[in-house]
Amino acid sequence: EWKAKANIGDNQSKTPLMRAIEFHQEGCVALLLSYNVDIDTADAQGNTPLHIAVEGANMGIIHVLVKNGAS
C-alpha cells in the first residue's frame, strides 16, 4: 500500500542502492535488488552502483551486482 520509490535519488542523485553500497550493506543491496531497482542508474557524477562498489573495494557487493547484470 505504501510503496516507496527506490529509484529516486537524493540531492546528490544517489539512489538507496548507491547509499547501501557506500555503507557496505550487502544485505540491503540484495534486498533492494530483489525489488528490481535500476542497477545501472548513474549519479550526478556519472557513477553507477558498480563504480561505487569498485571504488569501495567491496568484492562481495561487486559480485552481487555483476551476478544481477550490472554493467
Residue-wise pLDDT for 56-69, tens only, equals 999 999 999 999 99
Fold of 16-67: 1.25.40
- Per-residue model confidence (pLDDT) at position 38: 93
Domain ranges of the chain: 16-67
Distance, in Å, from the CA atom of 21 to the CA atom of 65, rounded to the nearest integer, reads 10
This prediction has a pTM of 0.90
> Which among 58, 1, 36, 68 has a CA at the least distance from the CA of 15?
36
Largest separation between any pair of C-alpha atoms in the chain = 37
